Structure 1
Amino acid sequence: MMSLMHRLPKIELHCHLDGSVRPATAAEIAEEEGIELNCSDLRELTERMTVSPSCTSLVEYIQRFELPLQLMQTRKALTRIAYETAEDAALDNVRYLEMRFAPQLHTRGGLTVDEIIGAVSEGLSAAEEKYGHCVRMILICMRHHGQIDNEVVVRAASRSKELGVVGVDLAGDEAGHPNELHTEVFELADRLGLPITIHAGEAAGACSIRSAVEKLRARRIGHGVRLREDAELTQVIRERRIPLELCVISNVQTKAVSSMENHPIRDYLDQGLLVTVNTDNPTVSGTNLTREYENLARRFRFSEKEIRRVAQNAIEAAFVDEERKEQLRERFEREWRELGLLAVES
């Protein structure tokens, strides 16, 4: 029988395109483009694209992106991978998906940033049309890129709203390239009216979360597991109702937290923080939102009421307009009623 957690409607706010490539698709693209992967079979390829249980750091985790990025340098490949990522989410009953990617990482084959955004949009739109969910894009600026490259991304995001771009992000080596290096870029994003989410409090401490909010004008925080190191800042985040994009399984794999037992998600929820739960990288982490929800129930004793609250938080945190949010609320209410769970109040 299909599990209840699978059947639940879901919202995904933090999912990386290059961390979501199907291994079988990677093999086919490599064959079509004549790229030598040096893998004997699909099993070995999958192992190279999936993090090891013995992973010791974020640096080791990030190495799993090197192979997919080799294969994501043509319009055809980007469109296909975008479509399949959105399809996988739909089959997991994700009703709203924000898919993020860094356009500057896909220019090796000569594509422009605008062409890359267009290719991804084409794939996501085709999946939307087939499955009836809502899929939007967040464009990532990389911490190790210079101001000029990142300004190109921000300006492209501003002119690509009609293609489904709803915000911008900053990702990469958080400890080695602090937020302060990117203040001007995100001031520009704010002036252009782009919602901002920042990877912070993952590989660096709570001070990174503070500067993301105060200097980069973040409306959401990606990860934020180290927020608990600063009680005063925790209160600020709660009072300002700044959502946290937690990715529990990934957070343990990257050693942002030392173990599942030490993950702060239960404490954060109990403190009234706006917790959302996400996959981060479905292929790299070997996860999906069903698995994430099952983990919440099994390891953190989340009740159906609390899982529903997580989803409702994500609707409120989504970078879309109020009309779309109301449609999502109505759809959730209907689907929870059909599952016999409407009596579970938030």
Structure 2
Amino acid sequence: MEMSLMRRLPKIELHCHLDGSMRPATAAQIAEEEGIELSCADLRELTERMTAPPSCSSLVEYLERFELPLLLMQTRSALKRIAYEAAEDAALDNVRYVEVRFAPQLHTRGGLSVDEIVTAVAEGLSEAEARYGHCVRMILICMRHHGQMDNEEVVRAASRFVSLGVVGVDLAGDEAGYPNELHAEVFELAHRLGLPITIHAGEAAGACSIRCAVEKLRARRIGHGVRLREDAEVTQLIRERRIPLELCVISNVQTKAVPSMDHHPIRDYLDSGLLVTVNTDNPTVSGTNQTREYENLARRFRFSERDIKNVARHAIEAAFVDEERKRQLKASFEREWRELGLTAGEAQA
């Protein structure tokens, strides 16, 4: 497939963190408006502080890039603006459906309540959706290092705000230090409330973390999952249950979830029949977007037109929206591919 076509392709994004999507120029403006000293000489230096190098020394180095955005994401106006711009950036990259995820409890240091935070983000996303015509939804994140009461508050907020576009809940943070088992009760509550669940697993911990996410936390999708290949039995479990994987290839290399691009399992996963989806994770921190992710797949992993179409179809099927919305996405997706003159075959089973 010609690289010039990549930006024009319709795209689906299931794994995009709000605090990893903040524009550096916006960070500078918010800091000035709120009187926050960033100690950066210019926008270039600020961008460097917010963007991870191509290969970090560790996950810790990667996570340092979130400190500055979180400092600036503590007011309703900042959250609304950053949400709007994240959805706008997705639309300009021809992303037709995007689930933006964030942890409300990380934005309370300025005195905002969880409800105020979710409402502010929802306002920004819905304004962008109205302007650009794509579909934007929210996933609320529970943090591994937070206590059960704080995480249950997030889950209950997710249930209350389904009408504002919340479609699911997630668990993120220090996977190795705070294993999934610690959060079984929280996600049992999410299940009882009817909330779709995705869990960050198989990134900083092994395949056993993925098994636990599915069997004990009732995950319908797995965030990352690059270490699934370490256990053939768990791999078969994921294949049989048709659990989609939210792979974020460029980020996975930067965070050292995989040692290098050559070692990333996405090609093997797709070829072996796993339900692979492709995502950015953190557009600003990783210096990426869906077009760049697709270009990387074609260049480094020999993804064909058919392969790219398959991962997009997997993402539509895996989206946490109702069947009518999925039907609409499928129809518009197929129409856009035809209009581009692309006629890749049917998706793999």
User: What interval of TM-score do these two structures reach, taking the shorter chain for normalisation?
Assistant: over 0.9
Residue number in structure 2 paired with 1:101: 102
Kept in 2, the 8 Å contact 1:14–1:245? The answer is yes
Give 1:69's aligned residue: 70
List per-residue Cα deviations over 1:154-202 (Å, max 9, x = no partner): 0000000000000000000000000011000000000000000000000
- Name the SS of the counterpart of 1:190 in structure 2: helix
Contact 2:105 2:114 (C-alpha < 8 Å) held by counterparts = yes
Shift of 1:2: 8.3
Match status 1:57 vs 2:45: no
Give the whole-Å Cα distance in 2 for the aligned partners of 1:106 and 1:343. Answer: 44
Question: Percent of aligned positions with the same letter in both sequences?
Answer: 85
Say if 1:267 and 1:161 are closer, same or farther in 2 by CA, change over 3 A: same
Which residue does the alignment assign to 2:129? 128
Cα distance in 2, alignment partners of residues 2 and 290 from structure 1? 9
**Bigger Cα displacement from structure 2, 307-316 vs 54-63:** 54-63
Do the aligned partners of 2:305 and 2:344 also contact (CA within 8 Å) in 1? no
Corresponding residue number in structure 2 for 1:220 = 221
How many Å apart are 1:54 and its aligned residue? Answer: 4.3
Question: What amino acid is the match of 1:5?
Answer: M
- The one-letter code matched in structure 2 to 1:154 is V
Aligned length: 346
2:152 aligned with 1:155: no
Whether the 8 Å contact between 1:72 and 1:78 is mirrored in structure 2 is: yes
Provide the residue aligned with 1:202 in structure 2: 203
Contact 1:333 1:342 in 2 (8 A): no
Cα-to-partner distance string for 1:224-257 (whole Å, 9 max, x where unaligned): 0000000011011011000000000000000000
Is 2:26 the counterpart of 1:28? no
Report the Cα distance in structure 1 between the residues aligned to 2:230 and 2:3, rounded to whole angstroms: 40
Q: CA RMSD in A?
A: 0.9
**Letter in structure 2 aligned against 1:290:** T
Offset at residue 345 of structure 1 (A)? 3.3
**Is the alpha carbon distance of 1:343 and 1:265 closer, same or farther for their aligned partners in structure 2, counting shifts above 3 Å?**
closer
- Residues of 2 paired with 1:345 and 1:169: CA distance? 31
Shift, 1:333, TM fit: 0.8
User: 1:88 — aligned with what?
Assistant: 89
Partner of 1:272: 273
Change beyond 3 A, Cα 1:2–1:205: closer
What is the match of residue 176 of structure 1? 177
Secondary structure, counterpart of 2:281 in structure 1:
coil
Aligned to 1:337: 338
**Which residue in 2 is equivalent to 1:285?**
286
Residues of 2 paired with 1:2 and 1:79: CA distance? 34
8 Å CA contact 2:55–2:255 kept in 1: the answer is: no
Q: List alignment gaps of at least 5 residues for structure 1.
A: none
Determine the C-alpha separation between the residues in 2 that align with 1:341 and 1:325: 21
Relative to the length of structure 1, the TM-score reads: 0.99
Which residue of structure 2 aligns with residue 110 of structure 1? Answer: 111
By how many angstroms is 1:53 displaced?
2.9
Q: CA deviation at 1:58?
A: 1.2
Q: Secondary structure of the equivalent of 1:283?
A: coil
Q: Distance in 1 between matches of 2:213 and 2:139?
A: 17
The alpha carbon displacement at 1:290 in A equals 0.1
**Shift in Å at residue 60 of structure 1?**
1.2
Q: Partner of 1:188 in structure 2?
A: 189
Letter of the structure 1 residue corresponding to residue 27 of structure 2 = A
Partner of 1:231: 232
Q: Give the distance between the partners of 1:2 and 1:252, measured in 2 at CA.
A: 22
Of 55-64 and 175-184, the range deviating more from structure 2: 55-64
Instruction: Tell me, yes or no, if the aligned pair for 2:226 and 2:247 is still in contact at 8 Å.
Output: yes
CA distance in 1, matches of 2:180, 2:234: 17
Q: Secondary structure at the match of 1:282?
A: coil
**What is the DSSP-based 3-state SS (H/G/I as helix, E as strand, rest coil) of the residue aligned with 1:166?**
strand
Q: How does 1:286-305 map to 2 (within 5 A)?
A: 286-305=287-306
Distance 1:201 1:163, change over 3 A: same
Distance in 2, Cα, partners of 1:331 & 1:54: 37
Alpha-carbon distance in 2 for matches of 1:3, 1:124: 28
- Offset at 1:342? 2.6
Matched with 1:316 is: 317
Query: What is the CA distance between 1:90 and its match in structure 2?
Result: 0.1
Q: What's 2:249 paired with?
A: 248
Structure 2: which 5+ residue stretches go unaligned?
A: none
Q: Return the alpha-carbon distance in structure 2 between the equivalents of residues 342 and 82 of structure 1.
A: 35
In the alignment, does 2:328 pair up with 1:327?
A: yes
- 2:142–2:172 CA contact under 8 A, matched in 1: yes
Secondary structure, counterpart of 1:228 in structure 2: helix
Match of 2:284, SS state, is helix
Please state how far the C-alpha of 1:15 moved relative to its aligned partner. 0.2
Deviation at 1:52, TM superposition (A): 1.8
In 2, the alpha carbon distance for the partners of 1:177 and 1:345 equals: 41
Q: 1:17 maps to what in 2?
A: 18
Contact 1:198 1:212 in 2 (8 A): yes
